[in-house]
């Protein structure tokens, strides 16, 4: 797995926190509804239940506001990351342009680069020539072997022809 940047980790943490807050707000809303049902059923505890419901509703509203804030923060981090990526790419491209310009601005550096290219070209050419020589030797060996084999067969045929000719002379 690729290593995350600080911005990525923060964004992931904010998204996770927003999810937890959203779920907590949902659970809190469920609790608020349950509390309201109990309040309706119990006339004797109306005042105390109303206070609990008010506290629960306040917590629910606060949690929902926190969840919305966390979501907005996560969106902001994503936008920030997109901007930082573009800035980083532009900086890297600028570095490469400066490096290339520095390489080709002085005569000594140009000579050094051309000498490096020459050595690299010589190595590549030598490698190809060695490979071609190797292939030529292999083909010559194969050809010589085929020639020897053909000569052996021809010698065998000559011997057979002489033997047959001798037998024919003896019969005649």
User: What 3-state class would DSSP assign to 60?
Assistant: helix
DSSP code at position 63 = H
Q: Dihedrals φ, ψ of 45, to 5°?
A: -105, 25
Report CA 10 to chain centroid distance, whole Å: 23
pLDDT, position 28: 84
pLDDT tens per residue across span 59-118: 888 888 888 888 888 888 888 888 888 998 999 999 888 888 887 788 888 898 889 999
pLDDT tens per residue across span 39-64: 666 655 566 677 888 888 888 888 88
CA atoms within 13 A on the CB side of 100: 6
pLDDT, position 129: 96
Cα–Cα distance between 30 and 19 in angstroms, integer?
17
Hey, where are the domains in the chain?
Answer: 6-103
> Which of the two residues, 122 and 69, has the higher pLDDT score?
122
Question: Any idea what the Cα angle at residue 80 is, between residues 75 and 86, rounded to 5°?
Answer: 135
The pLDDT > 70 percentage for the chain reads: 93
Cα–Cα distance between 115 and 118 in angstroms, integer?
5
Give the chain's mean pLDDT. 86
Find all residues with CB under 8 Å of 66, minimum gap 6, and list them.
21
């Amino acid at each position: 797995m690729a290593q995350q940047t600080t911005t990525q980790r923060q964004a992931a943490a904010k998204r996770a926190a927003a999810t937890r807050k959203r779920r907590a707000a949902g659970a809190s809303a469920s609790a608020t509804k349950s509390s309201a049902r109990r309040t309706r059923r119990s006339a004797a505890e109306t005042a105390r239940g109303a206070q609990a419901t008010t506290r629960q509703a306040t917590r629910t509203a606060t949690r929902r506001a926190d969840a919305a804030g966390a979501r907005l923060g996560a969106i902001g981090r994503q936008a920030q990351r997109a901007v930082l990526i573009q800035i980083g790419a532009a900086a890297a491209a600028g570095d490469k342009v400066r490096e290339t310009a520095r390489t080709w601005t002085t005569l000594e550096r140009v000579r050094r680069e051309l000498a490096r290219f020459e050595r690299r070209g010589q190595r590549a050419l030598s490698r190809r020539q060695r490979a071609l020589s190797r292939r030529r030797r292999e083909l010559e060996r194969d050809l010589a072997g085929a020639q020897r084999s053909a000569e052996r067969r021809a010698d065998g045929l000559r011997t057979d022809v002489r033997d047959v000719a001798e037998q024919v002379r003896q019969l005649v």
